Amino acid sequence: MLGVDPAVAGATGYGIVEFLGAKARLLRFGAMKLPARATFAERLREIHELISRLIAEFSPDAVAVESVFTALNIGTALKLAEVRGVVLLAAAQAQVPAHDYSPREVKASIAGYGAASKQQMQQMVSSLLGLAEYPEPPDAADALAVALCHAHAARARDRAAIAMGERIPAALATRSRIRTSRIPVIR
């Protein structure tokens, strides 16, 4: 599962989590912040290349992206939509399904409260992944939260389908296709 927290001016966070049953294991996380002198087009290209490389390396079964926060000013919202677009393009090019979640959905899923603070989110992500310290920078913690949110939602959909008597094809079940060998965490 690849989670992405897109950003226009700040850092775009990413987090890759593997699930073995209901147990989550952190594979990699980080954030890409480009120099202030980089043009917006360069930022889009670099974010697309980063997401494409992560998809190629980890073969996630899904990409989860935080959606545009609607209270932003229109110019920022449009640029953020463009950043999300290159993330979604990278997923589509690799034929990996993409899902989006609002910031409130992510916070409610992970912290149990849709208006949780950044620190509360870092604490919950750390707890859910069994980390000794909070994931830094906060953009990376947000991306991990998006990945965890998608995993919770996908498992809930699978359970509902089973309860309704629907058969879930093995290829669609919420199991990661990521190899299970030991992969070092790079921060």
18, 61, 139, 142: which is the annotated catalytic residue?
A: 139
- Residue listed under structure tokens 């697309």: 48
Q: From residue 186, how far is each of 88, 136, 140 by CA, in Å?
A: 24, 12, 12
Q: Is 5 a catalytic residue?
A: yes
5, 18, 61, 142: which is the annotated catalytic residue?
A: 5
Q: Is 61 a catalytic residue?
A: no
Edge-first strand order for the sheet with 63-66 is 23-32, 12-20, 2-5, 63-66, 98-101
Classify the C-alpha dihedral 128-134-138-144 as positive or negative: negative
Looking at this protein, which amino acid is placed at residue 92? A
46, 49, 61, 66: which is the annotated catalytic residue?
A: 66
Classify residue 60 by burial, with Cβ atoms within 10 Å: 0-12, 13-18, 19+.
Answer: buried
Q: Is 158 a catalytic residue?
A: no
Active site residues: 5, 66, 139
